[in-house]
Amino acid sequence: MSDLISYQLEDGIATLTLNNGKVNAISPDVIAAFNAALDQAVQDRAVVIITGQPGILSGGYDLKVMTSSPQNAVALVTAGSTLARRMLAHPYPIVVACPGHAIAKGAFILLSADYRIGVEGPFNIGLNEVQIGMTMHHAGIELARDRLRKSAFHRSVINGEIFDPAGAMDAGFLDKVVPAEQLQATAIAAAQQLKKINMTAHKNTKLKVRKALLETLDQAIELDQKHLG
């Protein structure tokens, strides 16, 4: 696979581990590696676990790319939004084992998965775009609108509020929080449980449930390309 995302298949579970520097920045190469890993997981008919390094899932998009030119920024955001859409429609369950911080695109990875496990500790989870001077993109707004609790949506997107793991669970970024040493075992147990469901029914139900969101995201990605460009 790729040095940026390792791929480990064991007992019908594919573990994708982000490994791109101190903050696991999401770059064009990381997204390409992500897509290749998801392609492989489909071939392997595997339940997917996505994780990062101890203490961090991802700090968001690669700022070097985002500040290099408007065209590069638009291309990266478009690729990231398209990846989120793909994850939401993935034919097999996706679990995220979040080992710590998940900021901006890191938090959107949580919002694109089927089951999300975080860890206890002084970790930050949320959407900091307005804090760093970025107007939130349409696709991000629609994904957050769909997956976050209504009471947390405005605080998160408009105010840039960042949550600790317990607050992130209440807001809708996480489904469960466990001690760090239990993260891997908890993720594997969740994946083993998800392996028992009928995958055709899972895929078809997922597409029905998320039909409106997926259509909205398609329109939002188009809008972002026009507006951001």
CATH code of the region 5-185+194-228? 3.90.226.10
Question: Which tops the pLDDT comparison, 135 or 16?
Answer: 16
In the chain, domain spans: 5-185+194-228
**Considering just the CA atoms, what is the radius of gyration of the chain in Å?**
16
Distance from C-alpha of 140 to C-alpha of 26, rounded to nearest angstrom: 15
Residue 197 pLDDT? 97
Residue 228 pLDDT? 67
Band (1; pLDDT cuts 50, 70, 90)? low
pLDDT tens digits, 51-63? 999 999 999 999 9
Q: Is the pLDDT of residue 115 over 60?
A: yes
Helix (H) or strand (E) holding 57: strand 55-58
205: amino acid identity, one letter: T
> What is the pLDDT averaged over residues 106-124?
98
Of 15-19, 100-104, 115-119, 224-228, least confident by mean pLDDT is 224-228
What's the DSSP call for residue 12?
T
Residue 2 pLDDT? 79
CA distances from 225 to 37, 66, 128 (A): 26, 14, 21
Angle at which helices 138-147 and 70-88 cross, to 10°: 30
Average pLDDT, the chain: 96
Residue 112 burial (C-beta neighbours within 10 Å; 0-12, 13-18, 19+): buried
pLDDT tens digits, 161-219? 999 999 999 999 999 999 999 999 999 999 999 999 999 999 999 999 999 999 999 99
Residue 98 pLDDT? 98
Residue 134 pLDDT? 87
pLDDT tens digits, 67-112? 999 899 999 999 999 999 999 999 999 999 999 999 999 999 999 9
Q: Is the pLDDT of residue 229 over 60?
A: no
pLDDT tens digits, 24-40? 999 999 999 999 999 99
pTM exceeds 0.85: yes
Contact present, 124 and 210 (Cβ < 8 Å): no
